[in-house]
Amino acid sequence: MDFNIDWPILKEDYYSQKNSALRTWFEVIDFDLREQIKKELIADMERLHVSIPFFLWFPTFTSKYGLPKVYSQPSLNVQTTLFKVWHFVNGGSVSSIHPPIVDLKLQLDGESYMATPFRKGRGGDGIATYSDVQKIHQQLNYTNSAISTLTGQLNYVATRIDDLQTPIPNSAETYANGISKPFFKVDGVSRKD
């Protein structure tokens, strides 16, 4: 069966007056993330053989990632942009923010590394073997991937906080917010004094 996406109808809906607030909300999202989302929409339309208006499709898409009622949020939160695809050693993958607690296969600079969240050590007082050292490296790979994920989140949050704290020039609010606020309040002394 031959299917073609009806782009004129979809563009008309996307740029319609009724969707202007949603469009403004969506277009604040990071460009690369928006492009990934658009690719997902196209893939779904081609898979289902139906032209789906974006703002009807988007809440269903985001609910798969734990974001129900996405339009009620002031903007997509930090976690949405930090999703990664984690590949399992035994095949398959999952999209999540943090690494799942399973054996993972990580790709770095063209090489594949195994990462294991938990290992039980060998009992007894025997001499450590190459296999024992390999298991430690696998756990360190997992720990390093988790730390890297947390670092990415902290950097993103710090950038967002810096953006929010950048004062707007020539603004009365800038002056009011620039005045240091006291750490305590004394009863009986007016603000003017």
Q: Are residues 88 and 143 in the same domain?
A: yes
> Based on the structure, what is the number of domains in the chain?
2
pLDDT, tens only, 38-85? 998 999 999 899 999 999 998 888 877 777 777 776 655 444 456 677
Contact 44, 57 (CB under 8 A): yes
Tell me, yes or no, if the pTM score tops 0.75.
Answer: no
Q: Are residues 59 and 97 in the same domain?
A: no
C-alpha angle 14-16-20 in degrees, rounded to nearest 5: 85
Q: Would 181 be classed as within a structural domain? A: no
Residue 109 is part of which domain span? 82-165
Backbone angles phi, psi at 115, to 5 degrees: -130, 125
Q: Would 2 be classed as within a structural domain? A: no
pLDDT, tens only, 147-178? 887 887 777 667 666 665 555 454 444 444 55
Q: Would 134 be classed as within a structural domain? A: yes
